[in-house]
Amino acid sequence: MQRTLIKNILSDNKLIGEQVRVCGWVRTRRDSKAGFSFIELNDGSCFANLQLVVPAQLANYKSEVTQLFPGSSIAVEGELVLSQGGGQSVEIQAETVKVFGFAEPEKYPIGKQRVSFERLRELAHLRPRTNTFGAIARIRHALAMATHQFFSGRDFLYLHTPIITASDCEGAGEMFQVTTLDQNRLPRDKQGKIDYKQDFFGRKANLTVSGQLEGELYACALGNIYTFGPTFRAENSNTRRHLAEFWMIEPEMAFADLDDDAQLAEDYLKYLFSYVLEHCREDLEFFNQRIAKGLIERLTTLATAPFQRITYTEAIEILEASGAMFDYPVKWGIDMQSEHERYLTEQHFSGPVIVTDYPKEIKSFYMRLNDDNKTVAAMDVLLPEVGEIIGGSQREDRLELLEQRMQAAGIEPESYWWYLDLRRFGSVPHAGFGLGFERMVQFCTGMHNIRDVIPFPRTPNNVEF
Ligand code: 4AD
Ligand code: MG
């Protein structure tokens, strides 16, 4: 008999009275004096467990069923009936229980008592079996599906940009090197420097920090594209918002300016909020109750309310006038810290803010220079709690100015000849942004630490699993 997913059993009334088969992992078992075992089974298809009523008459009742402790895996067949007891709507009257694997109660680390999120990071192989991590995985999935629906629905082409590259999009030098050279016997050139000509790619290579540069090449041929892939940053930040490996969504639009970019960002975020509200209700209820009070209300408001838009200069004025005590003093030209971003989103505007037109000195070389010669057409989208969720810009589409910006940033224009070619042949205004996927999952679940919203987090000194 084919197995039915528990989510379908719980949502489809037509199955009542039918024979069904379910498979999953035991969450709890208790034995009644009347000669039954009650098992709560979870198969990951939804938040709720399904109750199984197992009568003592079954041949393997004594030998196996009474040995089913949390974590054991089973298949159960029987009739789906309306539940007698309170607390659940339906249950299975088990006729057969097949055990796949037992779990020893003394050894199974997530069996009984509550385990902290910190400890669960060390048990990342088992944590998807907990309520919280199952719900995170389903919401993560929904956000990924929503992303493809949103962009595909607007005729954006899904582009696969390379993971291994020789360029540094953000120019910050925070890259993981990719090499096959024997680290104990590095080849040297005449000047005594490491001879990368002998390396796999014949030159220095690294893991990408962003697919943007390649994204621009395709946008300036096909119109609108988006990427959705892993990116890597060797920044040594041990914060609750940084990972060394994270997933980024990067749309890029030809014939578009910064306003179009901000509008796309706002539409995309609202689409994501509406989508999870519609598709992940049960999981959201859990986070709303147990992790972040008011989460559902906040997502509902954000799904429709307009986002604030201010310039960087206005943001600095607000911060200066606030009278708030910041650790990092505010003045025009600073790179805003998370305390400043939080003040804007949580105290001043109580909602999302799009900040535009940052000083050119603190932003990447590819951003378009504004007429004031001081600022660039950049934008950051800030959300309460998580801070910067999106970074984007209109791109510098004028060859000479781009070369100047590169030189000022200490980047050799020659090594980006292909990127500059785009400005030599049929250059067009274009713009795009990057959304940090894990920060989005954080925002939609209310989870405090980014390490808990990616299955296997990579951070300094942590690459287990
Ligand atoms: O602001 P960033 O660095 O922008 C770019 O990479 C551009 N090339 C994007 C573009 O215009 N196509 O990164 C974009 C977003 C940030 O706003 C943040 O949400 C997320 O990526 N992000 C991180 N998320 C987790 N861990 C990290 N270490 C992150 N660094 C950036
Ligand atoms: Mg940024």
Q: Is the pLDDT of residue 216 over 90?
A: yes
Give the integer Cα–Cα distance in Å for 259 and 334: 24
pLDDT over 80 (residue 85): no
3-class DSSP state for residue 245? strand
CA of 390 to the centre of ligand 1 (A): 7
Dihedral, CA atoms, 25, 455, 459, 366, nearest 10 degrees?
A: 180
Give percent of the chain with pLDDT exceeding 70: 100
What is the percent of the chain where pLDDT is above 90? 93
Ligand 2 centre distance from Cα of residue 390 (Å): 7
Ligand 1 in reach of 227 Cβ (< 6 A): no
Tell me, what's the pLDDT at 172? 81
pLDDT at 170: 85
Is residue 312 scored above 80 in pLDDT? yes
pLDDT at 113: 83
Region 48-77: what's the mean pLDDT? 97
Q: Which of 143, 169, 246, 376 to mutate to test the pocket of ligand 1 (most atoms within 8 A of CB)?
A: 246
Q: Which ligand is nearest to the CA of 362?
A: 2
Cα 423 to ligand 1 centroid, rounded to whole Å: 24
Q: What is the largest CA-CA distance in the chain?
A: 86
Tell me the mean pLDDT in the region 185-212: 97
**Calpha distance 402→408 (Å, rounded):** 10
* Dihedral angle sign, alpha carbons of residues 309, 315, 318, 323: positive
pLDDT at 435 over 80: yes
Q: SS3 of 103, please?
A: coil
Q: Over the chain, what is the mean pLDDT?
A: 96
* pLDDT mean over 153-168: 96
Question: What confidence score (pLDDT) does residue 39 get?
Answer: 98
**pLDDT tens, position by position, 118-143:** 999 999 999 999 999 999 999 999 99
Q: In whole angstroms, what is the distance from residue 309 CA to residue 330 CA?
A: 20
